[in-house]
Each structure stands twice: as C-alpha cells, then as structure tokens.
Structure 1
C-alpha cells in the first residue's frame, strides 16, 4: 500500500515536471495564458472601481454638460436634487453602460499595457527600464482601449445626461429630454446614433478623448510605478500603500487633462441640446476649448473638477489596488524588469 502511494506521488511529480497528461490536479487558473489572466484582472478591477464611484460620475457628467437645473449646483445639492427626481437608482443611471464599457476597457488597458511594456523592453533597450517605459506603454494602452470601446462611452454619457425631471411631454405616452426622444437603454442609444450619423456618429468626440487619454493614461501608470519605487520593500504589498500611490497617480494625471474631458462630454451630448440642432458646435478639440472659454468662461473647462478629484482618488486607487490583488490571486508572474535574455 505504501508502495502504491509512493508511485502515485512520483507520477504526479513527473507530471508536473514534464507537463504530461498524468498530472490531473493542475488548477484551471494556472492553465490560462498570461494575457488572458491580465484581461480578467483588468476587467474585474475596472468594473469594481467604476461601480464604487458611480454616483459621483453621474453628478460630474451633469455638471460638465451643463444640464438644465444643474449648472450652478455644488456637489451635495446636485446629489440631493438627483435623488429627489430619480431616487437612489438615479445615482446609477447609465452605470450599466459604464460598467459594460469599463470592463472591456480596463481589461484591454491593463493587458495591452503589460504587452506594450514587454515589447518596448525587448525591442528598444535604449529607452531604459525605468518608469519612462510605463509612461510610453500606458499611453499606447490607453489609446488602444479607447478606440475599441468608445461607442459604449458615448452611450453611457447620453444615458447619464438624461434627467427625468427635465422631461417634457410631447404626446400620449411619449416624452422627450430637452426636446429630444429619451433613450431607453444602451442598444437604443447605439442604434439611434448609428442611424443618424453612421460610424462617425458613434465616434463623435473621440478626438479630444484620444488627445486626453494618451497623456493621462501614460502619466497615471508612470506616477504609480514611480511612487512604488520609493516604497520600502517590506511595504510593497501593503493595500494602504497601493491605494495611496493610485490616488496620487489619478490626481495628478487627471488635473493636466481635465479640460479635454469637458470638451469630450459636451461634444457627446450636443445632439441632445436643441439650441445646437442642425449644426456642429465644435469642429475639433482646439475649437471646443476656445469656444468654451469664449462663450462659457475658462472656469467651465474645470466644471466638476472638484467632484472629479473626489471621484478619481478612490476610482484610480481602487482600480490599481484591485488589479494588483487580482494579479496575485490569478498567480500572474512578476512584471518584467529588464530586457529578456531569451
């Protein structure tokens, strides 16, 4: 009997070493390719972080897009008015589209960041191995993720822009938001926008989005990884450390690129504003920036920034922390630090 047990143990050990079919106990997680694990970790982190700050995200969009009745309200008053009009679930209006977008977005963002990072290290050794790699890889990953998921961001913004209290009846059983038909869901938004403007309509506002995400995503990864290098080795896995580094990374990165986010939001919802029906308000990102400053004042470029600070601190902090923890849970190998010797 002892001999039989020893034989079984030996067989299992051999199976582990040579990868033969005799090993039956390899966990399913360990059999997944690394890039699949990175997709899972990034998607889970993004969805968790986005849902945690959904009420602040909804409020920020209402302030950015100058929704009727919300232009001059502060954070608390805006939240109270939103709750009065739509109840608790009003805080999460558009969050379904937001999560539907952020899961593939975050999955692609984190996974492509890791892949771009390895590619740069292996092909451009002259760039070095410091945080500058994170800046370049993060920027490229941000652009890739945006291009793949932008229509869902457009749908999320249009849904979040609608406020029940501003609906006007235009007939039996029919309502409108500022003179425009209300969207019933993500699919309705996408089909309606595509019917009106085709593929170009689905990517309305992508210009300032790309312009803003390249420096923002790069700075976010750069600052996060740079801050971690100054943390003592014994505290590298501390949740508090990860949350702090992530919060500062989001804070600095968002400050530099926020005006472009305002332009993007206003371009996305312009078709819902009858005052601009029939003509394009902004030709491009620069035209949007100058027009807003001329007609609405330079302060409008930072409308909702205080809320964004409150939102971005937990959002980026939770996102980075959740991603690092998911990587540990999925047993993803440590990040490559230098050029591969293979």
Structure 2
C-alpha cells in the first residue's frame, strides 16, 4: 500500500512537471541557476562596485584589503548588501533573456535565411534578447547598485546606532531605493545609466553567444555533452565579452550612483551620454579607471558561469526541459 501511495505521488509530480509549458520551465531553471550563481559571487560583486564607483575609502585599496574592510565594518552580511535586489532582478531577467533569445533566434531563422543558421544568428539574437531583458529589469539593477554603493558601519552602534562612514543618503532596502529615486527623478531617474547599460549589454550578450557557439563548433562530437567543456566555452566567452565591454559598465555604475544633490565621484557624474562619460572619466580619473574592478570581474566570472551552467543543467534534467532545437543546417 505504501508503495502504491508513493507511486501515485510520484505520478502526480511527473504529470505536474510535464504539464508545465517549456517557457515556464526555463523561467524556473534560469531563475534558480541565476540566483544561485549571483549569491555565490556576491562578495566579489560588491567589491567590484565599490572600486568602480570610487567609493570613499576604497579608491586605493586592492581586492583583499577591500574585502577585509567590508568585513570589519559591516560583518559577513556586508558582502551580500544589494544581493537581494540582484537575485530578485535575475529571476525575471533570466526568464526574459532565455525566452526572447529563442523567439528572436527562431524569427531570424524563419525570415532571414540569408544569415544562415550559425553564430551570426546567435550574435543578433543574443544582443536583442539582452537589450530586452535589461529594459524590463533595469530599475532593480539600479537599486542593487545603490544598495551596494553605500558603506555603513554596523559595528559602531553605541549611541548613534548605525553610522555611515561618509556622507551618503542611506537606503533601507529595495523599495526605499525605488520610491526615493522615483520621487527625485521620476521614470527617468529609475533608468539613469540605461544608455551605457544598453551600449554594453548589446555587444556583450551578442558576443557571449557568438563566441560560445563558435567555440562549441570546434569541440569534437564525443565531447559535445561534457559539462566541463560547456563550462570552459562559457567561461572563455564571458571573459572575452567582459573585457571588450567593461568600460561601458564602469560608466553605467558611475551614472547610477550619481544624483542631482550629490557630486559623489570626483566631480559631477551627470554625464550627458555614454561617450561623454567615457571621455570625462579618462580626463578626470585616468583611463585605468575604465577598467577598475576588472580583475575582480575575471575572478567572479569563471565561478559564476560554472555555478550557473551546472545549476541550470541540473534544473533542466529535473524539469525535463527538452534540448534546444538545432538549426536546419545542424
């Protein structure tokens, strides 16, 4: 009887999972993998933002020194400040990214056969899906950056309670950031820095898919299903894509943390546009600032891709997501 009950329960679970649409399965798998990967590398992401935005007290520090300082003033939880917004953002971002990528790819294959069915299609579809996902989730990325940017000494709470290490508006959470920014600048404020974000994500997302698919074509057939091979190709694609587009990410972060009331980063950070941001940073802060935190990005991109791919593959097996259809040309 117990076996029958267990069997019936398993049958109900199988039926429930199998009845889910593929896009819902991709949402669950991509969201879970993205959230897990983001949380794994959250400490390095926090330090990267502090270095990118030249936060007071962190300008001349290295990675290890920065990690030590955050631990001293904010404790272990300080490493995960802003990670909640990052995780909340990655779930819809991953869903939109996966779904629109497949839609754009299918549309290109159906309507522009002259492009073929190789990596060029992945370049275009990846760029378009990356841009779409960014536009839909950008305010959450803005909130994540602002939360990660503020450094508060939670260990000094005698008479004054939590003490800020330097003059900076303190936010209590994601909702507080979004409502405050909206009151100050409306919808335009919520999308501050979206220009360089799109300028960075369009080539990055496209290059990531392009390089990844190109590398896979050089992998022998017997190794095509190897997880390690997928991780290696993905990590290399991420590293190359990040290197080419990283300066645009720095401009985006500096625009995000800037405000009308505060000139927070060595002069006014209210850049007119992406090009103005690049030239202003080079002129006032030096060209090396365009690559501030890049070493951390290299340190976090490999484990992030590794964890993300592994978790996603496990979720795909559990949810029985069918493999992506290959193009007509194979």
In the alignment, which residue of structure 2 is the partner of 1:294?
283
**Matched ranges for 1:49-198 at <5 A:** 49-165=37-153, 178-198=166-186
User: Which blocks of at least 5 consecutive residues in structure 2 are unaligned?
Assistant: 1-10
The match for 2:31 among 14, 24, 43 is 43
Q: Which moved more, 1:234-243 or 1:321-330?
A: 321-330
Structural RMSD (CA)? 2.6
Alignment CA distance shift 1:273-1:236 (3 Å)? farther
Farther-moved stretch of structure 1 (64-73 vs 278-287): 278-287
Shift of 1:247: 0.8
Distance, in Å, in 2 between the alignment partners of 1:274 and 1:68 is 13
Aligned to 2:7: none
| Cα deviation 1:57-104 (Å, max 9, x = unaligned) | 000000000001101111111111111111111111111111011111
> Residues 114-172 of structure 1: CA distance to partner in whole angstroms, max 9, x if unpaired?
22111211222111011111111110110000000000000000000010149999x97
Q: C-alpha separation between the residues in 2 aligned to 1:115 and 1:105?
A: 15
Counterpart for residue 301 of structure 2: 312
Number of aligned positions between the proteins:
317
Larger Rg: 1
Give the structure 2 partner of residue 19 of structure 1.
none
Partner of 1:322: helix, strand, or coil? helix
CA contact (8 A) 2:123 2:210 kept: yes
Q: In 2 relative to 1, CA 82–50 (structure 1 residues): closer, same or farther, beyond 3 Å?
A: same
State the distance in 2 between where 1:26 and 1:53 align: 33
Preserved CA contact (<8 Å) 2:52 2:292: yes
Compared CA separation, residues 90 and 279, structure 1 to 2 (3 A): closer
Q: What is the rounded CA distance, in whole Å, between the counterparts of 1:223 and 1:324 in structure 2?
A: 20
8 Å CA contact retained: 1:180, 1:272 = no
Is contact 2:36–2:308 with CA below 8 Å preserved after alignment?
yes
What is the TM-score with the length of structure 1 in the denominator?
0.86
> Secondary structure of 1:335's partner?
coil
TM-score by length of structure 2 reads 0.89
Q: Which runs of 5+ in 1 are unaligned?
A: 1-22
